[in-house]
């Protein structure tokens, strides 16, 4: 490369000036246009910001592609190298966005859509038995991973009365849906106003479930996880409706199989009716003679008829208790203290306290 | 001269300091224990404004109630006309996504500035607070904000010495309102079917009253004690404050506020039943031509209007069963021609702001004069 020296001729100087002028001209023509492509920045798989290089400064905004409703909310910053836009919430996988200046799109970018992840599964529906009491109060749906927070659960759940061959509404629509913290477990109530005797909903529409009818619950595969993956398949559950359950759970009618000392075989508790699958494990604990709760694992089986407690330490001889929190409910929402649908004008023993402790001895 | 000027200046400054202190005494006290930082919000389920631009946010996921200083304290008398079409799409676009990936969980209007606020939950569980200034949506940062919080998780059952790790009782927040110096919260359990109603003093401290509200169920002379409240409002009848509650079983029940005490079971009276398959969503009160009315939006019914006088005059006693006839009629209500109103609040003294799903499926945000309601 030649070095420009003071000994250049006038002609050479003019020529050089023109070269620079043209270069500067072409440079200024390109001002405002992206000279280098857009770069989407990902953190933990989420598209948290976009950087783009343009020369000069201007008011750039980001829009969802083909949308003129409103710009995407976020913070636009720039340094000498590039503009960076951080949206209020991460960009949506699979969506395309425009960077616009004065209403004109100067660049577009698309967010990666790693939709190849595992599809969520519906792991369990409780009660798991294929017969339920007519006054069944609630059902649980347990998923393998957190489900989406935007659409309503009942958009994906339909109930079909096989006996009369009609779709039917049995679940109560709630503005606040009842999910666990992880958003993997949904509770649906069968309309309590229809279960409670003589409330207007009960009089107008009767009980949600009809005795001796066969029902099928259909769960649509379009239901998505929080990551945006649809369920792996459609799910169904069919059950038959029996008579009403008008009895409170009573611990005295449970059978307990006591393990032997020195071992770690589980304590087995057999109920005389299936109990609430979620509450049972949370409301029952095994205590020693000091009243201390034993560490161990509780597991339900046999369609929520049986609870096993496997201790972490070996059983030693002594007195033990099975302590039951009185809020434990059966499938009809009857707990140890009261029936779900209580008519206290006829029930004289409503205040009677139920036993909630079962003692056993290991010898 | 100098000797004279100095004390005057000191006195003037002291007076200024004193007057500014008294002027801001209320807000200073309310936000005195606020911290600055990230709320780490889990979800936005219910919103209610308190004094001085303080917004209360109910977060079911974290079982928390937050008090957020929005600094939105400019006073306006009128909310102005609001008419936005495709409102869910607009909110979604402002968050860079489509309407199927968002849900508007609650809407509330700041009674001072008349600015509408919206709680939005996204598909992936992200929660965002937005507000509407003119026709432009703004993000209200919950990551850099002055706030205080209180937990709603129940203590673990204290009846047994528990060494096993057990989940805390967590309540989904059904409704939340600020009244007087308290935040009132109704909660639903995702496990047992029970009624929980909290009365939390604000500024937050360690004490929370928990009241089990007992419905007087008129039909068969029964007491119902355990149905959860879905939505509620505070109404003033004959100079007494009442809690007007709608239950999951749909009756509308009145409880005198001064009887709500910690741990006490109190009895309410059913004033209306609203029909099967229906779920009340929002309740507001307003005045028109010197009369007080009460509006309720519903999931499966048009907006209902009740006259305060009818409620006040509905003097069935709490201890005697109401006749079957009275139960069937209850307090009379009018159905207004506004079906599928999903959110509703007072915009100003003479306007209501609501979000409605129209017949063609469009979601609109609209203000309307109470003259026509």
> Which A residues, 35 through 64, put their C-beta within 8 Å of a C-beta on chain B?
62-64
What's the average model confidence in pLDDT over B82-97?
A: 96
The three-state secondary structure class of A356 is coil
Interface test with chain B among A50, A89, A91, A194, by most B beta carbons within 10 Å: A89
Residue range A75-82: mean pLDDT, rounded: 88
- Please name which of B330, B318, B327 lies closest in space to residue B216, comparing C-alpha atoms: B318
User: Which of A169, A185, A193 should one mutate to test binding to chain B, selecting the residue with the greatest count of B CBs within 10 A?
Assistant: A193
Question: Average pLDDT over chain A, rounded to whole?
Answer: 85
Checking if the pLDDT of A18 tops 50, the result is no
The predicted pLDDT at position A206 comes to 79
Q: Are B286 and B293 in contact (CB under 8 A)?
A: yes
Residue A19 has pLDDT above 70, yes or no: no
Neighbours of B275 (CB within 10 A): 16
Q: Can you say whether the dihedral through the CA atoms of B274, B277, B283, B287 is positive or negative?
A: negative
Instruction: Please report where in the chains the tokens 């009674």 appear, as a residue.
Output: B111
Contact: A89, B173; criterion CB under 8 Å: no
The answer to whether A164 and A213 have CB atoms below 8 angstroms apart is: yes
Single pTM value for the model: 0.83
pLDDT for B28: 52
Strands B116-122 and B304-307: unpaired
Q: Tell me the sheet residues that pair with B191.
A: none
Nearest Cβ partner for B160 among A63, A178, A287: A287
| pLDDT single digits (tens) B295-352 | 888 877 788 888 888 877 776 544 444 444 334 356 777 888 888 898 999 999 999 9
Residue A340 at interface with chain B, using a CB cutoff of 8 Å: yes
Residues of A in contact with B190 (CB under 8 A): 178-180, 185, 187
Q: Supply angle C-alpha A273, A277, A279, rounded to 5.
A: 105
Q: What is the pLDDT of residues B168-190, one digit of tens each?
A: 556 788 899 999 888 999 888 77
**Is pLDDT at B167 greater than 80 in this prediction?**
no
pLDDT > 70? residue B155: no
DSSP assignment of B121-143: EETTS-EEEEEEETTEEEE--SS
> What is the rounded CA–CA span in Å between residue A70 and residue A357?
62
User: Which member of A69, A287, A294 has the closest CB to residue B86?
Assistant: A69
pLDDT in tens, A102-146: 889 999 999 988 766 789 999 999 999 999 999 999 999 999 999
| Helix ranges (DSSP H) in chain A | 10-29, 192-195, 200-205, 277-283
φ, ψ of residue A202 in degrees (nearest 5): -65, -40
Q: Count CB pairs under 8 A between chains A and B.
A: 227
Between positions 117 and 136 of A, the ones with CB within 8 A of B are none
ipTM beyond cut 0.90: no
Q: What is the mean pLDDT of residues A250-275?
A: 95
Report the residue from A67, A146, A333 with minimal CB separation from B193. Answer: A333
Per 3-state DSSP, what percentage of chain A is helix, strand, and coil (rounded to 5)?
Answer: 10, 40, 50
Using CB atoms and an 8 Å cut-off, which of residues 60-89 of chain A contact chain B?
Answer: 62-64, 67, 69-74, 87-89
């Amino acid at each position: 490369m030649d070095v420009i020296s003071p000994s250049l001729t006038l002609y050479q100087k003019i020529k050089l000036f023109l070269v620079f002028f043209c270069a500067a001209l072409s440079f200024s023509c390109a001002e405002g246009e992206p000279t280098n492509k857009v770069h989407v920045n990902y953190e933990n798989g989420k598209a948290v910001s976009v950087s783009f290089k343009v020369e000069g400064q201007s008011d750039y905004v980001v829009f969802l592609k083909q949308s003129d409703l409103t710009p995407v909310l976020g913070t636009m910053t720039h340094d000498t190298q590039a503009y960076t836009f951080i949206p209020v919430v991460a960009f949506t996988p699979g969506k395309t966005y425009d960077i616009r200046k004065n209403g004109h799109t100067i660049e577009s970018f698309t967010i990666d859509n790693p939709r190849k992840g595992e599809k969520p599964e519906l792991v369990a529906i409780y009660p798991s038995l294929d017969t339920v009491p007519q006054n069944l109060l609630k059902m649980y749906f347990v998923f393998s991973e957190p489900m989406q927070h935007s659409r309503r659960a009942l958009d994906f759940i339909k109930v079909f009365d096989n006996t009369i061959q009609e779709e039917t509404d049995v679940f109560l629509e709630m503005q606040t849906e009842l999910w666990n913290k992880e958003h993997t477990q949904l509770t649906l109530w069968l309309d309590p106003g229809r279960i409670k005797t003589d409330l207007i909903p009960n009089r107008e529409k009767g009980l949600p479930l009809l005795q001796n009818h066969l029902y099928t619950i259909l769960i649509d595969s379009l239901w998505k996880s929080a990551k945006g993956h649809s369920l792996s398949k459609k799910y169904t559950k069919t059950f038959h409706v029996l008579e009403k359950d008008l009895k409170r759970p009573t611990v005295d009618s449970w059978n307990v199989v006591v393990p032997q000392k020195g071992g770690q075989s589980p304590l087995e508790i057999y109920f005389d009716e299936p109990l609430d699958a979620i509450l049972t494990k949370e409301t029952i604990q095994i205590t020693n003679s000091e009243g201390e709760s034993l560490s161990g694992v509780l597991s339900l089986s046999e369609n929520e008829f049986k609870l096993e407690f496997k201790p972490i330490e070996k059983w030693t001889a002594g007195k033990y208790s099975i302590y039951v929190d009185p809020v434990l409910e059966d499938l009809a929402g009857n707990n140890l203290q009261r029936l779900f649908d209580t008519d206290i004008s006829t029930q004289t023993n409503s205040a009677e306290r139920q036993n909630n402790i079962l003692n056993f001895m290991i010898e | 001269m100098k000797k004279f000027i100095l004390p005057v200046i000191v006195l003037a400054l002291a007076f200024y300091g004193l007057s500014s202190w008294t002027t801001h005494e209320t807000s200073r006290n309310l936000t005195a224990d606020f911290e600055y930082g990230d709320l780490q919000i889990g979800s936005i389920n219910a919103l209610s404004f308190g004094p001085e631009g303080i917004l209360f946010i109910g977060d079911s996921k974290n079982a928390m109630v937050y008090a957020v200083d929005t600094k939105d304290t400019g006073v306006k008398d009128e909310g102005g006309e609001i008419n936005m079409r495709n409102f869910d799409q607009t909110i979604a676009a402002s968050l860079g996504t489509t309407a199927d990936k968002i849900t508007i969980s609650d809407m509330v209007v700041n009674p001072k500035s008349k600015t509408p606020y919206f709680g939005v939950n996204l598909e992936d569980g992200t929660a965002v607070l937005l507000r509407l200034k003119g026709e432009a949506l703004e993000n209200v940062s919950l990551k850099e904000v002055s706030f205080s919080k209180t937990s709603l998780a129940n203590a673990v059952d204290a009846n047994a010495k528990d060494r096993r790790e057990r989940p805390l009782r967590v309540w989904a927040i059904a409704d939340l309102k600020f009244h007087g110096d308290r935040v009132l919260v109704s909660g639903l359990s995702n496990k047992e079917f029970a009624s929980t109603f909290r009365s939390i003093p604000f500024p937050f401290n360690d004490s929370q009253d928990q009241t089990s509200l007992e419905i007087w169920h008129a039909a068969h002379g029964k007491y119902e004690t355990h149905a959860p409240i879905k939505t509620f409002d505070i109404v003033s009848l004959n100079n007494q404050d009442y809690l007007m509650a709608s239950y999951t079983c749909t009756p509308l029940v009145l409880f005198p506020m001064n009887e709500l005490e910690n741990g006490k079971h109190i009895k309410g009276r059913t004033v209306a039943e609203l029909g099967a398959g229906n779920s009340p969503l929002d309740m507001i009160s307003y005045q028109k031509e010197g009369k007080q009315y009460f509006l309720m939006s519903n999931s499966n019914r048009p907006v209902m209007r009740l006259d305060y006088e009818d409620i006040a005059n509905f003097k069935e006693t709490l201890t005697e069963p109401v006749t079957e006839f009275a139960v069937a009629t209850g307090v009379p209500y009018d159905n207004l021609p506004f079906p599928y109103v999903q959110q509703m609040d007072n915009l100003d003294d003479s306007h209501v702001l609501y979000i409605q799903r129209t017949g063609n499926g469009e979601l609109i945000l609209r203000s309307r004069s109470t003259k026509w309601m």
